[in-house]
Amino acid sequence: MRKIILLGLILMLIPTAVLSQQFTLDVETAYTDPYPVEPGQNFILSLQVTNEGSEMVDTVFIELDPQHPFTVLENPRKSFTDIGGGSKKIVEYDVFVDSSAVSTVYEIPVKVIYGALATSTQRVQLRVQGTPRFEILDVKSNEINPGDRESLNIQVQNVGTGTAKRMTATFSSSSEYITPIFSGGSVYINEFKVGEKKWIQFDILADQDSEYGVYTGTISLNYNDESGSSHADSYNVGVLVSGEPRFSIVKSEVDKSDDELEIEVINSGTAKAIAVKSELWLNGDLFNTDYTTQVKIDKKAVLKFDLPERATSGKLKLYYKGPDNKEYVQEEDVAWSPVRNSRILLYVILIGATAVLIWKKPWKKLKWFKKKK
């Protein structure tokens, strides 16, 4: 009796197994375009439907049922007919993924309906991966003069759609006058998230011989995205070396041939001076003025004034601009050696010579000097 019951059960299960084998449809992701899917973008989701059974299926409905952050941009239900046993069909959907999506593998529900025989819900996998992208927002530094060691601060923001990992930021200069100081030219950042802003600080040195101007440098960013792929970006930045002019008096002397007072000055500052106006003041009054177009760093200039008759000291006032058009005023004491009046000395010599000649013996030979016999 038991054998008859067991045989009946087996016979009942055989049609079910055959039927299941005849109408098994599997759905999986065929591809996405682009791959991987990037947050905030439209993409094509292609599904592959495979008839794992042995019989023809007349009509099949595939309905995509995604949740946030995905949105189907067309009718989510599509259909096709006549998929034979072992054959495949491709169904494509136009889909949008929100910019808030994080980088991970998502599962999207898919309803499969074929005739009145079967309805199943399957899940297809979809990889979303953001791409880091960076912009330089600001460049700041303290005033940099020749010979200064200063910090160069760069504000960077991740404006992409993915987190950057194991980032190395490096500063390099295109000029020999601006150089990073040892490890101060490289900064390591373990993680840089989407939308995040960071200040990256580099230590740099301006050479003593550098002049006023903007020196170009390059910021290089090397990092990995969330999949481990490496990326490299570079950005040009400018480093302003300011400096300021400053004069020192080298010497002052009288040019007897031209009756001029010459004052030699040198630009001992860190920037060239332009539009230099020099004034010689005696006893609180303006005596004379001279002009010079420009004086470069470590260069000299000779300022010429009318020769004062009696004074041997005064004030030298200098008015000039730096290369950034900033105005400067400088006042220095100046003195020079007294000069004898050459005309008076000449008169004294002539009078003395005349007196000597008169009393010389040759003059006594004249007849009005002769004694009467």
For the stretch 163-198, pLDDT in tens is 999 999 999 999 999 999 987 899 999 999 989 999
Q: Tokens for 323, please give them.
A: 């290369």
Q: Which segment of 228-237, 247-256, 359-368 scores lowest on mean pLDDT? A: 359-368
Mean pLDDT of the chain: 85
For the stretch 264-282, pLDDT in tens is 999 998 889 999 999 999 9
Whether 147 and 241 have beta carbons less than 8 Å apart is answered as: no
Q: For residue 370, give the 3-state DSSP assignment.
A: coil
d(CA 355, CA 347): 12
pLDDT of residue 373: 47
pLDDT of residue 84: 87
CA-based nearest residue to 297, from 143, 141, 180, 147: 147
For the stretch 72-90, pLDDT in tens is 999 999 998 888 888 999 9
Comparison of pLDDT for 200 and 146, the residue scoring more: 200
What average pLDDT does the segment 346-350 reach?
A: 61
204: left (phi over 0), alpha (psi -120 to 50) or beta: beta
pLDDT tops 50 at residue 240? yes
Secondary structure of the chain: what % helix, strand, coil (to 5)? 15, 55, 30
What average pLDDT does the segment 124-139 reach?
A: 92
pLDDT of residue 19: 41
pLDDT tops 80 at residue 365? no
Q: In the chain, what is the straight-line distance between the N-terminal and C-terminal CA atoms, in Å? A: 204
Q: Is the pTM of this model over 0.85?
A: no
pLDDT of residue 212: 86
